[in-house]
Each structure stands twice: as C-alpha cells, then as structure tokens.
Homo-oligomer: A and B are copies of this chain.
Amino acid sequence: MGKSKFILIYNALSEKIHKQEIAAGSLLPTENELGEQFKASRETIRKALAMLSRNGYIQKIQGKGSIVLDVSRQNFPISGLTSFRELANHSKDTWRTNVHQLVLMKPDDHLKMVMNLHDDQMVWKVIRSRSVNGEAVILDKDYLIQGLVPILTADICEHSLYDYIENDLGLKIGFAKKEITVEHAGVEDKRYLTMSRDTHVVVVRSLVYLESAELFQFTESRHRADKFRFVDFARREHQ
C-alpha cells in the first residue's frame, strides 16, 4: 500500500502544486514527458493525473494539456473521510476532547434498525465533546459494534479512536454514507455544548463501513451552527 508508482507520482505532483512550484493556470508537462521523467508508461501517468483531477488539482483538456488549478485557498477538506484528530493537528487552534459517557449497551429498536443489528449484538456508546479555545462546539455520539471493537477505554476515546481502530485493532475503514441536516438544539446539546445565542445545530449522521463492506459504526456529530463549515469539490459527470 502506498508504494504504487502512480501514487508516488501523484504525491510528487500534488506536492509541487501545493508548494506553487508549478504555477496555477500553467500547463503540466505532457503525459509523454511525464512518462519519461518518472520512467513510467503513459497509462500509469494517466492514473496519477486522474487522481489529481478528482481531487481538484488539475483540469484535463483534450488536445491541450492539464491545467493546474488554484489550490491555495483550499480550506480544510472535511469532504473526504478525516477524523477529528487529523483535522485538529492541521489547525492552529487548540482543540480538546472531553469524554462524557462510555458504556457497553444493548441497542434500542431505532439503533437496531439503523445499524441493521442482530438481537444479541452489543454496542459501545461514546459521547464526546470537542472544544476549541475553551468553547465546546461539537458533540459526537458514536456507536461501535462490540464484535469488532472488543475493548474500549475512556483514555482511547479521549485521544484518537481512529488511531486505535486502524493501528491497534488493524481494522481498515473503507467508506461512509453521510447525511447533513439542521435541527433545533436538544437537551444534550445544551448540556454539553457552549451554545452562545444559537438555537440550532448542524447534525452529520454517518454510517461507517470497513474495507470488508461490514458496517462498523454509526456516528451522530452535532455542530454548533455558527461554527460549522463544509467545503466540497465536485466534478460534473458528463455521460
């Protein structure tokens, strides 16, 4: 993993674009030239370029070349799957996580339906709040299937749950389905969040699956509305 030639080429080129060593608006070398530079076949180069295109680094134009896009005001990319800890590490602000609840429970009917659980499956319920500069602005409620995560401690939840899951347990996250809505703040929001004058929260509900396509986790992430921001890059599918 991560050793594929086309990933190396992708990393080399995306880094150059980030560092502005290749100016926005200019053309990348042609695919044949890149093939010589990296000693790779054209199809391999094209895999790297397709990845750059998907992630908003370049725009390919037939007959012309690959235009480098302006990636400078590329704000935090929540668009993909990024854990809170990874985000916090990239920011200059001081983030802090508080664990409010950690229990092993029998799921209620609603959760059983949402997560498609069997009768005997138990889940870990974790409630955490995230604070930036002393203000609690995010409330996370996670439900993890015990069959996949046998043991969980407050200490792990306070540091990085995803680190533990991926590095210690060796589970690989594959994909997630997300839904974003806006709701009135409830009792839990008022209890755990610093609500200022706001009465609304943005709710991001996610079903997280492993690479094996097994459902692994359901998460409800509740954000104070005035602190919520979601940035996205989308390509038009011309078929």
Seen from chain A, the residues whose Cβ lies within 8 Å of a Cβ on chain B are 1-2, 7, 11, 43, 54, 56, 59, 61, 67, 69, 75, 79-81, 172-182, 199-200, 202, 209, 211-213, 225-226, 228-239
Instruction: Look across to chain B and name the residue whose beta carbon is closest to the beta carbon of A62.
Output: B211
B59 and A211 contact, CB distance less than 8 A: yes
**How many copies, total?**
2
Contacting pair B175 A231 (CB below 8 A): no
Give Cα A234–Cα B56 distance, bound, in whole angstroms.
15
Q: Chain B residues with Cβ under 8 A from A226's Cβ?
A: 182
Task: Tell which of B43, B61, B180 touches A211, judged by Cβ atoms closer than 8 Å.
Answer: B61
With a cutoff of 8 Å between Cβ atoms, the chain B residues found around residue A237 in the complex are: 80-81
With A182-B182, A234-B79, A237-B80 as contacts: A59 and B228 at CB distance below 8 Å: no
Once the chains are docked, how many angstroms separate the CA of A175 from the CA of B212? 31
Cβ of A155 to closest chain B Cβ, rounded Å: 25
Decide: A175 near B211, CB < 8 A? Known: A182-B182, A182-B225, A199-B199: no
Q: Could you tell me the distance between the alpha carbons of A56 and B226 in the complex, rounded to whole angstroms? A: 31
Q: Is the CB of A182 within 8 A of B211?
A: no
- The CA of A211 and the CA of B67, in the complex, are separated in Å by 10
Q: Among B177, B213, B231, which residue has its beta carbon within 8 angstroms of that of A67?
A: B213
